[in-house]
Amino acid sequence: MRTIALGNQGLRVPVVGLGCMGMSEFYGASDTLDNLKVLDRASELGCTFWDTADIYGPFRNEELLATALNGRREAITLATKFGIRRDSAGGWLGVSGHPEYVKACCEASLKRLKTDYIDLYYQHRVDPDVPIEDTVGAMAELVTEGKVKYLGLSEADSDTLQRAQKVHPISALQTEYSLWSRDVEDDILPTCHRLGIGFVAYSPLGRGFLTGAIRQRDDLEEGDWRLDNPRFQAAALKHNRRLADQIERIAVSKAITSAQVALAWLLARKPGIAMIPGTRKRNYLEQNGYAAAIELTQDELNTLNQFSREFPTMGTRY
């Protein structure tokens, strides 16, 4: 699979990675053995940029990846995150960027992942009560200690990125980006380009909506967090289906899937962008991976760009 450099620090990743969050929580029930088979297939396909976080599960997602990493650790670029606090029952406890918390989280993640280093370590959400200089300073010490190779931030604004970069090179910013979430184009992406920071797009398929598989609320199973998401309410779904339908028209004309159209659009936007679509299905994993080889025509790109601007998504991201 095609790879790119994320940032200017030497980190290279496949342009299509794998978001592993849904294998443990948020999107309904899942099966551990099936998830491990998907991870095995991802490795075979060269989809070797795996993304997790300490809170997914909570905590169980890193343990799942530990099993999949056995015997192939050096072949996988492993990203995990800290910064959002949860208890063992799944309760949400806010965010923290305190230096002592950073280091405690790293030690706990290393233990759960059964590894002695993390390739890319993100602050999951910025703590407004702790200067980013203090948080990144603690993260930089983890690099010096050999526990972390590269640093990243998630959902950080331009000012935070600039301040963080002065403390230690930031290799990647992870933020939502897709045809129905284009906010980053105005300020964030130019800032990343100027600072030499790579960009990792999460939810590049609009949390599954851009695949065309979700047309009404009944398409979501009980326990799926999207049932509470503003963009998946009945009125919003009806409005947003127009974008999904436009994507589908292009997919049909090219004999590919809607998901592949949405991913190919994103990969055509800017150099230095990687993405981490999540899936628990082997066939979807394979389709997502093949998207890296698909090229949309300029007319197709223009159509999608114009349509998504003229008919903006209804509903906030969270």
Q: Which of 19, 41, 13 lies closest to 207, judged by CA?
A: 19
Phi and psi at residue 31, to the nearest 5°: -115, 130
If phi over 0 gives left and psi between -120 and 50 gives alpha, with beta otherwise, what is residue 146? left
For residue 111, CA distances in Å to 142, 167, 211, 227, 305 come to 15, 27, 36, 34, 44
For residues 209 and 265, give the distance between their C-alpha atoms in angstroms, rounded to a whole number: 15
Evaluated on CA atoms 225, 231, 235, 238, the torsion sign reads: negative
Round to whole Å and give the CA distance between 126 and 164: 11
Annotated catalytic residue 56: yes
**Cα–Cα distance, 102 to 105 (Å, whole number):** 5
Q: What's the rounded Cα separation, in Å, for the pair 288 and 31?
A: 21
Closest by alpha carbon to 174, among 142, 194, 150? 150
- What's the token pair of residue 71? 């015997």
Active-site annotation holder among 56, 121, 150, 202: 56
Give the helix ranges, DSSP H, for 255-297: 258-267, 282-290
**What six digits make up the tokens of 39?**
């991870």
DSSP state of 314: S
Question: Cα torsion at 54, 55, 59, 60 (round to 10°)?
Answer: -110
Dihedral angle sign, alpha carbons of residues 42, 43, 48, 53: positive
What residues act catalytically? 56
